[in-house]
Amino acid sequence: MGKFYDEILQGLLEAVAVEKGKISLVKKEGMPALTFITSNMETALIDEGGSSSK
């Protein structure tokens, strides 16, 4: 269950950062529906923030 928990925590931390405007979203082209993603650099920062709270 450890990996599952880590993935849930990652998603929640990223959602909070997006909501607060600390992470910008980039439109992903070539998708059938309007899709936005975060950049790898910003995801790495979220990973760093999540690991420090453990």
The domain ranges of the chain are: 2-52
Question: What is the per-residue pLDDT for 36?
Answer: 87
Alpha-carbon span 35 to 28, nearest angstrom: 6
Question: What are the beta bridge partners of residue 27?
Answer: 36
Q: Is the pTM of this model over 0.75?
A: no
The structure tokens listed for 12 are 């929640």
The per-residue pLDDT for 23 is 82
| Per-residue model confidence (pLDDT) at position 52 | 45
Q: Could you give the 3-state DSSP secondary structure of residue 22?
A: coil
Sign of the CA dihedral running 40, 43, 47, 48? positive
pLDDT band at 54; cut points 50, 70, 90? very low
Q: How far apart are CA 19 and CA 15, in angstroms?
A: 6
